Amino acid sequence: MKKVKYILTVAVFVLVIFGLAAAGLILPDGAASASERRELAQMPEISAKAVFNREFSDKIETYFLDQFPARDTFRRINAIFRFYGLWQLDSDGLWVHGGAVYKSESKTDESQISYAATYYNSLIDAYLKDLNVYYTVVPDKSYFTQDLGYPHLDYDRIFEIMTTGVRGAEYIDIRDTLSVDKYYRTDTHWLQPELFDTVKRLGEAMGVGEYLTPEDEYTPHTLSPFYGVYLGQAALPIDPDELTYLTSAYTDTAVVTGPQYKADGIYDLAKFEGMDGYDVFLSGTQPVIEIQCPDARTDRELYIFRDSFGSSLAPLFTGAYKKITVIDMRYVTAGYLPNVVTFTPGADVLFINSTLILNTAMIMR
Amino acid sequence: MLFSGATFLYAFLPVVLVLYFLAPGVKAKNYVLLIASLVFYFFGEPVYVLLLVFSSISDWLHSVYIEKHRGERRAKIALISSIVINLGMLGFFKYTDFLIGTVNAILGTAIPKTGVPLPIGISFFTFQTMSYTIDVYRGRAHAQRDLGTMATFVCLFPQLIAGPIVRYVDVAAELEDRKHTLEGVALGIRRFAFGLGKKVMIANIMGELTQIFRESGDKSVLFYWLYAVAYALQIYFDFSGYSDMAIGLGSMFGFKFPENFNYPYISKSITEFWRRWHMTLGGWFRDYVYIPLGGNRTTKWKWLRNIAVVWILTGAWHGAEWNFVLWGVMFGVLLIVEKLWLGKLLEKAPAVIDHIYVLFIVVLSFVVFNASGLRGVVSDIGGLFGAGGIPLVSADAVYYLRSYAVAILAAVIGATPIPKYLYNKLREAPRVALEPLATGALLIVSTACIINSSFNPFLYFRF
């Protein structure tokens, strides 16, 4: 009996250790992880320098971890062990409530928030004095779950710093136009079809409320499955979302250009199959984009300083503005801005960044 | 390379096992182990591997010379030479900057530090080689004539960098001739899987909690205690898990390494705690420092001096910082107090009081141990008792207590003999596949934790 048990123990060990080692050798290396939305480490180059400064040993461990056979399955086992074995409330800061995944960003960095306010002021002083400047702050979805007891940003403090720190711009509060169900379950972003109240609030504050495209003039289109950024990170067995984007006569005729913009139109459907499905909106990461709206109901211009939340919001202003310039200050420096954007006096400006970006605002230069 | 790393588990280990079991005879197997051990060390310390080679050759030469001149004055000189070289290496790499820093702090000087990094595992392998030459001098061991075999002992990767401290006499016979049995391999696998599980499924998770505490801006008395308990559990499961893996690997390769832990957290006195915690280090200091100084068979004052010397050295062995010395002194004082009068009181007290006393002291001691210098000690110990006006409870503390409650409870139970009792029941079960399946499940879940983990240090590497 004992001998059989020993044989089985050795067999299990060989199966697991040698089996996975062999699988790692046989299976081709992956270039990227769709679930984690990142490129995977490749086999590091061996050189005497890399070996002796221990760079090689560090990189080879990362390579083995990244290229491990059935990596997603093992990540899922780990998540199940954490959530259902140890009953942890979160794993790597990710937690689940009501079928939605959230990420705890518990450390509010006031210096970053203050930097954002000062940064807005410097842009206003340098380029936007003759324009109508507005700003808003997009609460991330944990804003709406503060009473559940999970660690979260100090939202009161963030809004206080921003509303008292920004000068020469009108603050538009959009918090009451949003709720947790207006965000994707598996992603950090909001749902475009749920933004009409928000767009109305912003549009009315900027004086274009009556020119906004009515909700019933939009046609929803669905892309599925949409694996939100949190879904891959959490590695839990949760159903993916559906991504919905809206088209109208104004979005259909909009002409979008930019130094790095390659899509034909306001939605870049090819991006849905990429690392981040949300890049469908304005083709994701872009420093500067111009949206010409020939059929717009006004001749007004709008400049949006935004993060990815602004990507899905901007198309909903195509009926109200002749030209919308969308700028992401994470990818263009303030000093370089006049080289790529000419500001028209009298135009509207909207600063719109999420609390998550404001808490790491120093990436805006 | 870490035992709990993917490179070790899924590249290094399978290759070494195949080569090892293909190699004919013990001598060839020893050479496989030696080369594998040098590669293992080279992977983490490409330059310092020369130190390991030097240490092997030096102690081999010294021991052969000592044996040749046994009973002569020259043997004693060779022994002193060997000890000076070993302690010199340890002193230079581990304590030079500590001494410079201390001199600078006391005298206000600005002597630049050397900045020489500490070779991994130097405290372990220098103690092993010292015990070897001392044992040869005392006639307890024969000098190893074969340099390759000697180097295999010094460099043996399973216990090279974090113990247990294996003495030459423990494995001398096995280095020359050992049997490889199915039972030895299977039990080794089981022990290794258990150690791996302790490390990645408990210690790393407790480590995450201590890191969260350090980074939190929402400290409270409750959070300090949560941290203290988590760290005490982390260091136990980290170190004992590593020892289990080392013992398991040794068993697979036909060696029987000494035990290093025996449920220290169930002790009823600090004296008992130290008979159960890092047993090979305690045994080393007992046999090579305490007893040669006279042990307890001397005057009371000399006996107290001997205890003090051992515990100052034990503290300093763990790290070149004053908090480690304080940690050692603290245990030295407690052991003296227990031997003089507290021990008798503890014997009469209810067991629960004894356990509370030990756990309270041990948890506090590890806060001292993990503090950043003496200022850190004051800050962290103060935090446990509300110094600095911190609140009793904070939102972060409550959240992480809730989040880690089951993990902490599992770790607390895991630190007692209960899991072993349950495991033995499992072994007695008629279903023969249960134990192998449990071992396989441990390996799979541990691998899952490793694949997802970015937090995977070994605490005892720095010693």
Q: State the pLDDT at residue B423.
A: 79
Q: How far apart are the first and last CA of chain A?
A: 70
Q: What is the mean pLDDT of residues A29-43?
A: 85
Per the structure block, which two tokens stand in for B151?
Answer: 């180097």
Contacts of A110 in chain B (CB under 8 A): none
Mean predicted confidence (pLDDT) in B453-457: 53
Q: Is A27 helix (H, G, I), strand (E, B) or coil?
A: coil
Q: What angle do CA B137, B48, B81 make, to 5 degrees?
A: 25
Cα A256 to Cα B21: distance, rounded to the nearest angstrom: 66
pLDDT (mean) for B37-46: 90
Phi, psi of B454 (to 5 degrees): -105, -5
Spatial contact of A311 and A278, defined as CB atoms under 8 Å apart: yes
Residue in B with minimal Cα distance to A25: B11
Q: What mean pLDDT do residues A70-82 have?
A: 91
Q: Where are the domains of chain B?
A: 6-178, 184-462
Per-residue pLDDT tens digits for B82-118: 999 999 999 999 999 989 989 998 888 889 998 888 8
Per-residue confidence band for B9, with pLDDT thresholds at 50, 70 and 90: very high
Average pLDDT over residues A60-82: 91
Q: What is the 8-class DSSP label of residue B184? A: H
A interface test, pick of B9, B10, B41, B251 with most A CB neighbours within 10 Å: B10
Distance separating alpha carbons of residues A100 and B454, to the nearest angstrom: 25
Contacts of A4 in chain B (CB under 8 A): 432
Q: Which H helix or E strand runs over B394? A: none
pLDDT digits (tens, 9 = 90+) for A7-16: 999 999 999 9
In chain B, % of residues over pLDDT 70: 97
Statement: residue B458 has pLDDT above 70: no
Per-residue confidence band for B385, with pLDDT thresholds at 50, 70 and 90: very high
Q: Report d(CA B118, CA A1) in Å as an integer.
A: 49
pLDDT at A260 over 90: no
Helical spans, DSSP H, in B319-386: 322-337, 343-348, 351-370, 373-384
pLDDT band at B71 (very low <50, low <70, confident <90, very high): confident
pLDDT in tens, A89-110: 988 888 999 889 998 877 889 9
The residues in A 141-160 lying below 8 A from B, measured between CB atoms, are 149-151
Instruction: Give the pair of three-digit tokens for residue B282.
Output: 């305690």
Closest CA to A83 of A198, A234, A210, A195: A234
pLDDT at position A248: 94
Whether the predicted pLDDT of A306 surpasses 90: yes
pLDDT of residue B433: 77
CB A354 within 8 A of CB A140: yes
Long-range contacts of B122-125 (CB under 8 A, 24+ apart): B122/B51, B122/B89, B122/B90, B122/B93, B122/B94, B123/B90, B123/B94, B123/B317, B123/B463, B124/B159, B124/B160, B124/B161, B124/B162, B124/B163, B124/B165, B124/B463, B125/B52, B125/B55, B125/B154, B125/B155, B125/B160
What backbone phi and psi angles, to 5 degrees, belong to B45?
Answer: -135, 75
User: What is the C-alpha separation between A333 and A121, in angstroms, rounded?
Assistant: 15
- In the prediction, which pLDDT does B218 show? 86
Residues A225 and A263: their CA atoms lie apart, in Å, by: 21
Let me know if B318 is a catalytic residue.
yes
Q: What is the pLDDT of residues A196-245, one digit of tens each?
A: 999 999 999 999 999 999 999 999 999 999 989 888 888 888 889 999 99
Q: Tell whether the model's pLDDT for residue B430 goes beyond 80.
A: no
Identify the pLDDT of residue A350. Answer: 97
State what percent of residues in chain A have pLDDT above 70. 100
> What is the structure's pLDDT at B86?
93
CA distance B432 to chain A (A): 6
Helices (H), chain A: 2-13, 19-26, 48-52, 55-66, 71-80, 110-127, 155-165, 196-205, 229-234, 249-253, 308-313, 337-340, 355-358
CA B246 from centroid of its chain's CA atoms: 11
Closest CA to B196 of B47, B334, B10, B326: B10
The verdict on B7 touching A (C-beta cutoff 8 Å) is: yes
Instruction: Return the structure tokens found at B45.
Output: 């310390």
Measure the CA–CA gap between B267 and B237, rounded to whole angstroms: 16
CA–CA separation, B32 and B13 (whole Å): 12
Taking CA B13 as the corner, what is the angle to CA B9 and CA B17, rounded to the nearest 5 degrees? 145
Q: Determine the average pLDDT of the residues in B328-352.
A: 90
Q: Count Cα atoms within 13 angstroms, Cβ side, for B81.
A: 14
Q: Is the pLDDT of residue B456 over 50?
A: no
Residue-level pLDDT at B455:
43
- Give residue A173's pLDDT band: very low, low, confident or very high (50, 70, 90): very high
Q: Are A35 and A231 in contact (CB under 8 A)?
A: yes
Strand, coil or helix: B349 = coil
Asked if residue B164 has a cis previous peptide bond (ω within 30° of 0), the answer is yes
| CA–CA dist B103, B88 (Å, integer) | 19
> Highest mean pLDDT range out of A116-125, A145-154, B415-424?
A116-125
Asked whether residue B246 carries a pLDDT value surpassing 80, the answer given is yes
Mean pLDDT of chain B: 91
SS3 A132: strand
**Per-residue pLDDT, A329:** 92
Summarize pLDDT for B404-424 with one digit per residue, the tens.
Answer: 999 999 999 999 999 888 877
**Tokens 């717009």 sit at which residue?**
A296
Close Cβ partners of B386 (under 8 Å, ≥ 6 residues apart): B221, B392
Q: For the ranges A169-173, A273-277, B325-329, B362-366, which has the lowest average pLDDT?
A: A273-277
d(C-alpha B143, C-alpha B63), whole Å = 5
| SS3 call for A207 | coil
Model confidence at A3, in pLDDT bands (50, 70, 90)? confident
Cα B368 from Cα B381, distance rounded (Å): 7
* Mean pLDDT comparison of A51-55, A88-92, A178-182, highest-scoring range: A178-182
Which amino acid appears at position B10 of this protein?
Y
Catalytic residue among B62, B278, B318, B355: B318
Rounded CA separation B207/B233 (Å): 9
Contacts of A154 in chain B (CB under 8 A): none
Q: Name chain A contacts of B405, Cβ cutoff 8 Å.
A: 87
Of B190, B405, B444, the CB nearest to A16: B444
Consecutive H or E run containing A42? none
**Token pair in block for residue A217:** 């003039």
- Min Cα–Cα distance to chain B from A81, Å: 8
Q: Which positions ≥6 away from A56 have C-beta within 8 Å?
A: A44, A46, A47, A50
